[in-house]
Structure 1
Amino acid sequence: MSPRRSAAEALATRGRILDRAAGIASEEGLDGITIGRLAEELGMSKSGVHKHFGTKESLQLSTLDKAFVDFWHRVVEPALAEPAGLRRLRAVCANSVSYLERPLLPGGCLMTAALSEYDGRPGVVRDAVAEVWSRWRGQLRADLGVAVENGELPDGFDVDQALFEIVAAGLALNAAMQLDRDDAAAGRARRAIERALG
């Protein structure tokens, strides 16, 4: 077997492990993923899974990172074609509502699940969850700030309050979709975001 093929197969295996880990974590939390469970479900040896991640913590961090990258590709990157400011912000918010309305994972947004699971716990995984949320809020805050600078939002507009309400709408939407299967929740989230910007 050539080194190139071997590396490609290792990458594919790692991707398969992370796909399954993200599915489990979205429903049961990051603590629900273990090397032994993934090995059993994927028909691999424990050592085969272990060689890709080493520790459960490394597996959790890699799973969170995968979920965030998938979220960023689906929510933020398509909106970057819009000019910075209100147009980009509206595109990002519309994409985030669509992402929560039709989630990639069976348990909804893994970042939201991880926030609830780790917000009160110390440690490396909690710090990674905080970093993911900081990057998401930073993207929203940047476009809110540009919208104020450009005069698209009025002088004195409360960026912090709008940011809080936009994030809250996403959290509420995820909960409504996962707990209640509420098909009207996406419309409520869209209206809440527009009110935050109004």
Structure 2
Amino acid sequence: MADGRVERGNQTRRAVLARTVDIASVDGLEGLSLGKIATDLGLSKSGVFALFGSKEDLQIATVRAARAVFVERVVQPVQDEPAGLAKVWRLCESWLGYSGRRVFPGGCFFYSVSAEFDSRPGPVHDEIARIRGDWARYIERLLDEARLAGGFREAADPADVRQLAFEVMAMMELANAHSVLHGEAMDYERAARGILTRLRAATAAPEELPERPPAFDFTAGRPSA
């Protein structure tokens, strides 16, 4: 019986977080309300409160749930590919698809909540900053693995890797911001062209990268054939 209660509690928690990540991507983490979520899901407010304890706890749990979705949709599809700039390109494709096909209704979840909490100190800010830092370091790591494997056309050092990672992230996030604001998929195509141009200029094996990015079909959630 105890195990059954625990499982029901876990199911309710998953249902709540599946709803809150979508709400927060559009309305922000401050837009989360225990009462509204309980009403939306047909739950008691006291039951939802018992699972999370406070709005801040709910916000942090929402950020962590969004991270799990991000890892599943963006990182895992390419994690087993061999080191090189081709792997970095496929990661960028994966990210552009994640944002463009609106895995979260508001576009990139972490772009949205970062803007909301970037100047607000506290545990929620710290959790967002930690995850954002992990993402930046992951891109830098993949680029550095490519460098160590001889994937760069010219000698590069860690500073060059960090600069390239910054430029790649900037293009992806600008595409997300413009697309969410203006509702145009062309921003993703521009970012893809810019990223691919930058990687092809750096790679020692241009044949491993496409000459141009594929046309993105965001209604299908992946590049079109």
State TM-score, norm by structure 2: 0.83
Corresponding residue for residue 213 of structure 2: none
Instruction: List gaps (5 residues or longer) in structure 1.
Output: none
- Partner of residue 86, structure 1: 85
5 Å matches for 1:120-135?
A: 120-135=119-134
Instruction: Give the match for residue 189 of structure 1.
Output: 191
Q: What SS is found at the alignment partner of 2:95? A: helix
Residues of 2 paired with 1:40 and 1:110: CA distance?
Answer: 23
Q: In the aligned structure 2, how far is the partner of 1:105 from the partner of 1:13? A: 20
> Structure 2 CA distance, aligned partners of 1:47 and 1:72?
31
Q: Deviations over 1:143-168 (max 9, x none)?
A: 11111112211213621221111111
* Partner amino acid, structure 1, of 2:104: L
Q: 1:175–1:44: structure 2 CA closer, same or farther, 3 Å change rule? A: same
Offset at residue 8 of structure 1 (A)? 2.2
Deviation at 1:44? 1.7
Distance 1:169 1:25, change over 3 A: same
The yes-or-no answer on 1:117 pairing with 2:116 is yes
1:148 matched to which residue of 2?
147
Do the aligned residues in 2 keep the contact of 1:165 with 1:192 (CA within 8 Å)?
no
Report which of the two has the higher share of helix: 1
Could you say which residue in structure 1 is the equivalent of 2:19? 20
Match of 1:179 in 2: 181
Deviation, 1:187, is 1.0
Name which of 141, 162, 165 aligns with 1:163. 165
- Structure 1 CA distance, aligned partners of 2:59 and 2:174? 25
Q: Encode CA deviations 1:113-149: one digit per residue, 9 max, x unaligned.
A: 1111111111111111110101111110001111111
Residues of 1 paired with 2:188 and 2:54: CA distance?
38
What is the rounded CA distance, in whole Å, between the counterparts of 1:48 and 1:121 in structure 2?
A: 29
Q: Bigger CA drift: 45-54 or 168-177? A: 168-177
Report 1:92-107 matches (<5 A): 92-107=91-106
CA deviation map 1:149-194 (0-9, x unaligned): 1221121362122111111112111112211111211111111212
Using the alignment, how far apart are the partners of 1:54 and 1:71 within structure 2? 25
Q: Which residue of 1 aligns with 2:31?
A: 32
Q: Distance in 2 between matches of 1:180 and 1:129?
A: 25
Aligned residue-pair number:
197
- Structure-1-length-normalised TM-score: 0.94
For residues 55-75 of structure 1, what are the alpha-carbon distances to aligned partners after superposition, in whole Å with 9 as ceiling and x for unaligned? Answer: 111100010111111011111
Conserved in 1, the CA contact under 8 Å of 2:172 and 2:188?
Answer: no
CA distance in 2, matches of 1:5, 1:166: 47
Q: What amino acid is aligned across from residue 155 of structure 1 in structure 2?
A: A
Identity %: 36
Q: Distance in 2 between matches of 1:11 and 1:136?
A: 27
Letter in 2 for 1:72: V
- Kept in 2: contact 1:18–1:66 (CA 8 A): yes
- Opposite residue 27 of structure 1, the aligned amino acid is V
2:178 aligned partner, one-letter code = A
Is 1:68 matched up with 2:97?
no
Once the two structures are TM-superposed, the CA of residue 3 in structure 1 deviates from its matched residue by 3.2
2:204 is matched with: none
Does the 8 Å CA contact 2:88/2:142 hold for their aligned counterparts? yes
Which stretch of structure 1 is more off in the superposition, 77-86 or 19-28? 77-86
Q: CA offset at residue 93 of structure 1?
A: 1.1
